[in-house]
């Protein structure tokens, strides 16, 4: 392929990535180092009770935003360096918790509370998704041809459902007088409240994420199983290798590039967990880094949004994703160099 043809194919994608990914990312990066606040002033405001004869008026001094000639709030921008990151991380409170020996107080800080859940959610669901997806692929690959189609169709249904709808469905099954909650209460003869404590909410989130993402791993693994060298498998059988030995020494090494690929996609996607927080309405007990960024952007009573802290939180989230991707990307690069030689 000559350079002009290559540029014609790649150019539009590079341009769109520059417009919709690179520029917003640079904008968020700079926003994390400055704070934009409305300019306010003190004004006397007179409020009167209804009525004419017995009307009572009270004059109060209130803080109101300054408006320009178009009626818009006048703002000022101040470069604050790393202050927004310090506001998000709250390292002073972390230091106090460490010095006093109260390590549990660190998890009361929103960022560290969200980081704890996000890391656990990402790293615990990854092996479960890989194991469930590979088990489904092996089962379907060894099943008779007549049942493969229906099994594949049923297995893909969770992946078709959008995460918000799926999490809401699980929530409605277990919340209050949900179907499954009612059945469990009748069976155990006790009142069950699945959403009154953090650990039960997290368990349901783990279950939902594995249920929702395992079909993607299943499809990738099932396609990879079709390329396994059958001569190698037959040789292993002749040599007396058991099913587990064939899986460990033949199939898994063959599928390792796909395992790395699924791991990369999973880490990038799950570290930005947000839908489950909204669907399970877990803000009082469980929050994620992505939800924390969203919460900073929710306007307060005065209509102001903490854009600087939201930008800092978004950058810290991106740094976390990069750190998690170092190992699988390094493994991919080493495999590529090995294959090239």
79 lies in some domain = no
Say if 11 falls within a structural domain: no
The length of the chain in residues reads 341
Flag whether 301 is in a domain. Answer: yes
CA dihedral of 157, 161, 167, 172, whole degrees rounded to 10 = -80
Residues of the domain holding 208 = 103-340
Look up the pTM and report it. Answer: 0.81
Q: Confirm whether 48 is domain-assigned.
A: no
DSSP secondary structure, 180-246, as one string: HHHHHHHHHTS---TTSSHHHHHHHHHHHHHHHHHHHHHHHHHHHHTTS-HHHHHHHHHTT--HHHH
Residue with tokens 């803000």: 283
> Domain total for the chain?
1
Structural domain includes residue 44: no
Residue listed under structure tokens 């994608």? 13
On whether the CB atoms of residues 214 and 136 are closer than 8 A, the answer is yes
Distances (CA, A) of 82 to 25, 78, 79, 311, 318: 17, 12, 9, 12, 16
Q: What sign has the CA pseudo-torsion 241, 243, 247, 248?
A: negative
CATH number, residue 324 = 1.10.3720.10
Structure tokens at 200: 């039960």
Q: Are strands 75-79 and 57-65 parallel, antiparallel or unpaired?
A: unpaired
**CA–CA separation, 37 and 307 (whole Å):** 10
Residue 224 in domain: yes
Q: Indicate whether 204 belongs to any domain.
A: yes
Residue showing tokens 């594995």: 210
Residue 47 bridge partners (DSSP): 58
Please say whether the dihedral angle defined by the alpha carbons of residues 178, 176, 201 and 292, taken in this order, is positive or negative: positive
- Domain-embedded: residue 145: yes
Local confidence pLDDT in tens for the 341 residues of the chain: 677 888 888 888 888 988 988 898 899 999 899 887 777 777 777 777 776 666 777 777 777 777 777 777 777 788 888 899 998 999 888 888 888 888 888 888 899 999 999 999 999 999 999 999 999 999 888 887 778 788 888 888 887 888 888 888 888 888 877 788 888 778 887 777 777 788 888 898 999 999 989 999 999 999 998 888 888 888 888 888 888 888 888 889 889 989 999 999 999 889 988 888 988 888 888 899 999 999 988 887 666 788 899 999 999 999 999 999 998 888 888 877 765 54
**For tokens 């854009």, what's the residue?**
307
């Amino acid at each position: 392929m000559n350079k002009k043809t290559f540029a014609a194919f790649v150019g539009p994608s590079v341009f769109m990535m520059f417009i919709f990914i690179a520029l917003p990312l640079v904008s968020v990066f700079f926003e994390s180092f400055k704070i934009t606040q409305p300019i306010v002033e003190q004004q006397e405001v007179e409020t009167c009770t209804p009525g004419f004869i017995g009307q009572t008026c009270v004059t109060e001094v209130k803080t109101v935003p300054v408006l320009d000639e178009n009626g818009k709030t006048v703002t000022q921008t101040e470069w604050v360096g790393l202050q927004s990151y310090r506001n998000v991380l709250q390292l002073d409170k972390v230091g106090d918790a460490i010095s006093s020996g109260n390590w549990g107080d660190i998890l009361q800080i929103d960022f560290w509370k969200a980081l704890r859940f996000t890391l656990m959610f990402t790293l615990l669901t990854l092996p479960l998704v890989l194991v469930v997806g590979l088990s489904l692929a092996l089962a379907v690959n060894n099943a008779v041809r007549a049942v493969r189609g229906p099994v594949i169709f049923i297995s893909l249904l969770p992946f078709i459902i959008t995460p918000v709808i799926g999490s809401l469905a699980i929530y409605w099954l277990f919340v209050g007088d949900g179907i499954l909650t009612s059945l469990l209460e009748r069976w155990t003869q006790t009142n069950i409240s699945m959403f009154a404590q953090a650990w039960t909410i997290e368990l349901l989130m783990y279950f939902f994420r594995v249920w929702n993402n395992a079909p993607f791993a299943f499809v990738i693994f099932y396609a990879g199983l079709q390329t396994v060298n059958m001569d190698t498998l037959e040789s292993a059988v002749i040599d007396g290798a058991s099913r587990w030995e064939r899986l460990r020494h033949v199939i898994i090494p063959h599928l390792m590039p796909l395992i790395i690929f699924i791991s990369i996609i999973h880490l990038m996607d799950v570290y930005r967990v947000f839908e489950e927080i909204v669907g399970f309405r877990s803000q009082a007990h469980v929050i994620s880094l992505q939800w924390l960024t969203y919460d900073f952007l929710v306007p307060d009573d005065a209509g102001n949004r903490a854009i600087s802290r939201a930008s800092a939180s978004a950058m810290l989230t991106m740094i976390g994703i990069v750190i998690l991707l170092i190992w699988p990307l390094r493994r991919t690069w080493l495999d590529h160099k090995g294959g090239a030689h």
